Amino acid sequence: MLQYLAGQAQDLVLNVLAAGPIPRHVAFVMDGNRRYARQNQKRVQDGHADGFVALRRILEVCMKLRIQCVSAYAFSIENFKRSPEEVEALMELAEKKLLELCQHGDLLDQYGVRLNVVGRKDLLPAHVRAAADKAESMTRDNKRSILNICMPYTSRDEITTAVESSVRQSLVSQGAQTLNAKDIHISEKDIEANLLTSLGDSPPLDILIRTSGVKRLSDFLLWQCCEDTQIQYTDTYWPDFGLRELVPILLDYQRREWRKQIQCKPPQ
């Protein structure tokens, strides 16, 4: 009965929120899994597993609100520098959860969500890369929303790759056979079009949220959040992050959007 009432209360809150402006794209730096594990006398891998439960919980909330795109920073390229035991545990968890997410009848299938694994997939172990390819393939025809699992990812690597692609495209368009500075014509729009998120059809980033109280971006979506993105920090560790923490962030977004509309409204 208590669980039913909690579900009803959550749906009521979501219905109220849905009456206002809804962001198109929300991104999460899912920080604090290891500190959460230490605080709760758990193994580090159990903290990461609880973090995945939090991702499912938040993803379902976002889907009920009809948010078009959710991006989650799951594994940085720099994370390969962690202990071999932790990296191996994270890779095993990633393989298991990627396949679990895209099963028939599971969350992505239920809400029509296409999964994109964004990052240097060539750096992943073969079994994780195979799981990522399978998950992407199984959800490719889902059209309602997008889930970007960013792993292994850094924004600097994404921007570098986008610039390289833009240069190659410029040379091809000019019919150039060798690299010559005078033949290269690229713009910000060219680079943006070649970002991994753009190639995966992600809309512009409206909100970026980092948990655990750390106030830095940690090389995540730096290009995407450089202009008109609301950046929010919360002290809550990611596994504990839920609707209670998300609601004030969404209300703040709605207040800003309403303020913009008022400012842009011509005088009577």
Burial pattern 196-209, b for ≥16 Cβ within 10 A else e, equals bbbebebebbbbbb
Contact assessment for residue 25 and residue 69, using Cβ atoms and an 8 Å cutoff: yes
Whether residue 247 has pLDDT greater than 60: yes
CATH topology for 22-153+203-254 is Undecaprenyl pyrophosphate synthetase (3.40.1180)
Question: Domains of the chain: which residue ranges?
Answer: 22-153+203-254, 156-195
- Which one-letter DSSP state was computed for residue 220? S
- pTM, entire model: 0.92
Whether residue 232 has pLDDT greater than 60: yes
Q: Please give the pLDDT value at position 178.
A: 57
Average pLDDT over residues 202-229: 96
The least confident of 214-218, 230-234, 263-267 is: 263-267
229 phi and psi angles, rounded to 5 deg:
-100, 135
Q: Please give the pLDDT value at position 146.
A: 98
Tokens (6 digits) for 6:
């909690």
Q: What is the pLDDT of residues 145-195, one digit of tens each?
A: 999 999 999 999 999 999 999 988 888 877 655 556 666 788 999 999 999
Q: Please give the pLDDT value at position 135.
A: 94
Contact assessment for residue 173 and residue 195, using Cβ atoms and an 8 Å cutoff: no
Q: Pairing state of beta strands 113-118 and 145-150?
A: parallel
Which one is catalytic: 31, 50, 206, 219? 31
Residue 31: active-site member: yes
* C-alpha span between 71 and 24 (Å, rounded): 11
* C-alpha span between 198 and 71 (Å, rounded): 12
Contact assessment for residue 243 and residue 218, using Cβ atoms and an 8 Å cutoff: no
The least confident of 62-66, 134-138, 170-174, 257-261 is: 170-174
Whether residue 36 has pLDDT greater than 80: yes
Burial of 90 (0-12, 13-18, 19+ CB in 10 A): buried
Could you write out the DSSP letters of every residue in 94-159? HHHHHHHHTSTTSHHHHHTEEEEEES-GGGS-HHHHHHHHHHHHHTTT--SEEEEEE-SB-HHHHH
pLDDT > 90 fraction of the chain, expressed in percent and rounded = 79
Give the number of other CB atoms < 10 A from CB of residue 50: 19
More confident residue, 239 or 6: 239
Whether residue 81 has pLDDT greater than 70: yes
66: confidence class by pLDDT, cuts 50, 70, 90 = very high
Q: Please give the pLDDT value at position 268.
A: 60
Q: Average per-residue pLDDT in the chain?
A: 92
